[in-house]
């Protein structure tokens, strides 16, 4: 049997404290003297649980309703208890907004409590906020960050090979080593760093516009849908559109052209750090 601690170390330890005496042989209870708890012991063994006189603990559990005056309910419950020299633990659960616990703890001290702790586990209604979280594509983030590194031709090829969607060859490291050794002799210039496609400042600027661009695109789409729903489809409307378009039978607006150009520059992008662990350099060998 496990006696537990001789003093409470947490507010959920509400059982009395004590210790266990185990007796063997001639000292053990035998025959009719054995008690029910001795059934767990083999013959010739018995045990006794001896309670300890520990500091008193008072536990107050309040399950509140939506419109209940919880502060008054706690105070009324505390007044009914003998708190002199006791450790007081008040737990409030249920409905309604939380109360200020400081005054309640002070009130328990006034009634003689040695230590008082009030825990209100309810949540204030105005604090319950739903947050919509979205995550960027990690592959796009890595690709965007890669453009700022100015990797040499060889390193760029190796980095993309390591990120390929096909299963990695378990012998990739040896193959890379062999390839590098051969290309050092034949294509030394391919190891020279190149000018980065993006600077870090440009990366941050583009990342900041991704969310704005998405919002504008969604707003434009909704506006176009509403305009389409309101159109009467008459010949006059078609003629007006044709006239405004000039000779071009399928005109593309400047804003749409700008969107296409912007998309070609920023496709698959988000500001995240690349996984440099996957790059293989000469230092590895």
Angle at 67 between CA 64 and CA 70, to 5 degrees: 45
| Average pLDDT of the segment spanning 139-152 | 76
Contact by Cβ (8 Å): 194, 152: yes
| Least confident residue range of 4-8, 173-177, 199-203, 222-226 | 222-226
Which of 108-117, 200-209, 243-252 is modeled with the greatest confidence?
Answer: 108-117
Check residue 74 and give its pLDDT: 94
Confidence (pTM): 0.38
Q: Which residues are CB-neighbours of 254 under 8 A, at least 6 positions away? A: none
How far apart, in whole angstroms, are the C-alpha atoms of residue 17 and residue 4?
A: 7
Residue of 187 and 91 predicted with greater confidence: 91
Check residue 38 and give its pLDDT: 66
Contact by Cβ (8 Å): 90, 118: yes
Q: Is the pLDDT of residue 278 over 50?
A: no
Residue of 159 and 245 predicted with greater confidence: 159
Q: How confident is the model at residue 218 (pLDDT cuts 50, 70, 90)?
A: low
Q: Is the pLDDT of residue 274 over 80?
A: no
């Amino acid at each position: 049997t496990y006696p537990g601690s001789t003093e409470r170390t947490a507010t959920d330890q509400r059982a009395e404290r004590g210790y266990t005496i185990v007796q063997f042989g001639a000292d053990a209870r035998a025959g009719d003297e054995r008690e029910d708890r001795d059934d767990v012991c083999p013959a010739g063994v018995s045990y006794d649980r001896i309670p300890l006189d520990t500091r008193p603990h008072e536990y107050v559990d309040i399950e509140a309703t939506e419109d209940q005056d919880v502060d008054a309910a706690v105070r009324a419950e505390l007044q009914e208890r003998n708190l002199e020299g006791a450790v007081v633990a008040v737990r409030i659960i249920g409905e309604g907004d939380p109360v200020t616990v400081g005054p309640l703890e002070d009130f328990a001290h006034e009634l003689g409590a040695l230590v008082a702790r009030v825990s209100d586990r309810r949540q204030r209604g105005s604090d319950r906020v739903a947050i919509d979280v979205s995550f960027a594509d990690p592959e796009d983030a890595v690709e965007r960050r890669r453009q700022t590194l100015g990797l040499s031709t060889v390193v760029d090829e190796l980095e993309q090979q390591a990120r390929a969607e096909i299963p990695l060859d378990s012998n990739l490291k040896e193959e890379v080593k062999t390839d590098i050794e051969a290309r050092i002799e034949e294509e030394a210039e391919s190891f020279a760093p190149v000018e980065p496609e993006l600077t870090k400042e440009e990366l941050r600027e583009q990342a900041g516009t991704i969310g704005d661009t998405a919002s504008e695109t969604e707003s434009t789409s909704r506006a176009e849908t509403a305009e389409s729903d309101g159109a009467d489809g008459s010949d006059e409307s078609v003629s007006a559109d044709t006239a405004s378009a000039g000779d071009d039978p399928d005109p593309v607006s400047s804003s749409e052209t700008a969107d296409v150009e912007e998309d070609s520059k920023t496709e698959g992008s988000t500001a995240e750090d690349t996984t440099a662990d996957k790059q293989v350099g000469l230092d590895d060998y």
